[in-house]
A = this chain, B = another copy of it.
């Protein structure tokens, strides 16, 4: 595989957080509908108790995660929620699977890092 997994990871995260911060109800087609149900994931995201959110990436690391072109991405960063002045730190992992020239999200683990 000659895919540049670092570039892919950066593109993905840029797109993902941009879309999340603008309209997270549109993220559904990034998730595999076969696994846990993209619909449930999006319902969960939309139900989050804030109106406005901005993600700032602090670190982004990517590694090839199989011989099939899977890519593992770990992000740490900050969230600014609604009118809050203080950001909240978070960590997130995406497991991206190649599929017909694109990628879908097989795993997504998100945690706020409380001090």
Which residues on A are within 8 Å of B, measured CB to CB? 58-59, 61, 63, 65-66, 72, 74, 76, 89, 91, 93, 95, 106-107, 109, 111, 113-115
Across the interface, do A65 and B107 meet the contact criterion of CB distance under 8 Å? yes
How close is A68's CB to chain B, nearest CB, in angstroms?
Answer: 9
Across the interface, do A59 and B111 meet the contact criterion of CB distance under 8 Å? yes
Beyond A65-B106, A107-B65, is A113–B93 a contact (Cβ under 8 Å)?
A: no
Across the interface, do B76 and A107 meet the contact criterion of CB distance under 8 Å? no
Q: Which of these, B72, B76, B114, contacts A111 with CB under 8 Å?
A: B76
Across the interface, do A95 and B72 meet the contact criterion of CB distance under 8 Å? yes
Q: Which of these, B61, B72, B89, B106, contacts A113 with CB under 8 Å?
A: B89
